[in-house]
Amino acid sequence: MTASSRHQFLYALNPLAKVVGFAPAMVLLIFVRDLATPASFLVLAYAVILIGARLTGRLLALMLLALPVGMLAIGVGFSLWVDAALVAETAPFLRIGGWTLYAGALEIGFATALRLGAIIALALIGGLTTTGPDLVRASVQQLRVPYRIGYTALAAFRFVPRFGHELAVIRAAHRVRGHHGGRGPFARIARGWGYIVPLLAGAIRHAERVALAMDSRAFGAHSTRTERHLVPFRARDVIFTVASLAASAAIFVAFFPWQLS
């Protein structure tokens, strides 16, 4: 955690609190069909992120521009795909020649777009303020996930930036040797194939070194293992989880069109 992010409360929470707090809502949003419920969760997610996360200019543009524009495009697209016979009883919204866009089709399309947007926004609450290694450590410490599985995931997280570094080195070496391969999409594909073999060789060498290091430390020899980096689940995590679940329940009770027989 950097010094500039300590004042934002989401960074200080246990990763599992952010997952458990909104995971039920993300699952239930798949089954709703109205507009008010996903719109309310979208507003809630935006409020939590804008208050509790430190957003760069790029992330702020993603939240305020890219995601709304994407939902608008998805809503219009799904509206055009709705069978007109299913919504013919609703009011017509737009007529072009013999083609009619009904209000019911727009409602279905934008309900789908709002569901997707709300699920993405709720996922960003944890995604923007949690690192993968911290989530793995919390799963091992609180959920009792076997540490062999957890540390395998941690090793995979370490592989990704290493692959990026090795790919940059390979590209630089090819440029020095004059292996440009021309321009255009086919030249890019040809250069990509030339990167595969050295990347695989580097991955095998790195995996061998990691395996030897883990074996020298008796990794997997015992049923439990002490942790160097602790990710505790504190009172504030309990409060956040309970508050998130309560807010989700309140939204479903208030806006979801319940039908009691």
CB contact at 8 A, 158 and 50? no
Same-domain status, 251 and 156 = no
Same-domain status, 108 and 192 = no
Instruction: Return the SS3 of 102.
Output: strand
Residue 239, pLDDT score: 96
221 within a domain of the structure (yes/no): no
Residue 6 one-letter amino acid = R
Same-domain status, 100 and 171 = no
180 within a domain of the structure (yes/no): yes
Q: How many domains does the chain have?
A: 2
Same-domain status, 120 and 29 = yes
Average of per-residue pLDDT values in the chain: 84
Same-domain status, 158 and 195 = yes
Q: Answer whether residue 5 shows pLDDT above 50.
A: no
Which residues on neighbouring strands pair with residue 94, listed in sequence order? 101
Q: Answer whether residue 6 shows pLDDT above 60.
A: no
CB contact at 8 A, 236 and 13? yes
Backbone angles phi, psi at 220, to 5 degrees: 85, 0
Q: Who has greater pLDDT, 186 or 101?
A: 101
Specify the range with the lowest mean pLDDT, choosing from 72-76, 174-178, 222-226: 222-226
Give the pLDDT confidence of 174-206 residue by residue, as tens digits. 777 766 655 666 666 766 777 787 788 877 887
Structural domain span for residue 51: 3-130+234-255
54 within a domain of the structure (yes/no): yes
Same-domain status, 166 and 83 = no
Highest mean pLDDT: which range of 98-107, 179-188, 234-243: 234-243
Phi/psi region, residue 144 (left: phi>0; alpha: psi -120 to 50; beta: rest), is left
Same-domain status, 43 and 123 = yes
Same-domain status, 126 and 185 = no
- Distances in Å between the alpha carbon of 10 and those of 6, 26, 126, 229? 9, 18, 8, 19
pTM (predicted TM-score): 0.77
182 within a domain of the structure (yes/no): yes
Same-domain status, 120 and 185 = no
pLDDT confidence tier of residue 210, bands split at 50, 70 and 90: confident
222 within a domain of the structure (yes/no): no
120 within a domain of the structure (yes/no): yes
CB burial of residue 59 (10 Å; 0-12, 13-18, 19+): middle
Same-domain status, 117 and 72 = yes
Same-domain status, 50 and 98 = yes
Instruction: Return the SS3 of 259.
Output: coil
Same-domain status, 111 and 185 = no
Q: Answer whether residue 54 shows pLDDT above 50.
A: yes
Residue 76: how many other CB atoms lie within 10 Å: 14
CB contact at 8 A, 18 and 10? yes
Give the pLDDT confidence of 116-161 residue by residue, as tens digits. 999 999 999 999 999 888 998 898 888 888 877 887 787 777 777 7
Q: Answer whether residue 40 shows pLDDT above 80.
A: yes
Longest dimension (CA), the chain: 76
Closest to 36 in 3D by CA, of 115, 121, 125? 115
Closest to 53 in 3D by CA, of 2, 17, 7? 7
51 within a domain of the structure (yes/no): yes
Q: Answer whether residue 20 shows pLDDT above 90.
A: yes
Per residue, what are the HEC states of 216-259? HCCCCCCCCCCCCCCCCCCHHHHHHHHHHHHHHHHHHHHHCCCC
Q: Report how far residue 100's alpha carbon sits from residue 37's, in angstroms, rounded to the nearest whole number.
A: 28
Q: Report how far residue 116's alpha carbon sits from residue 118's, in angstroms, rounded to the nearest whole number.
A: 6
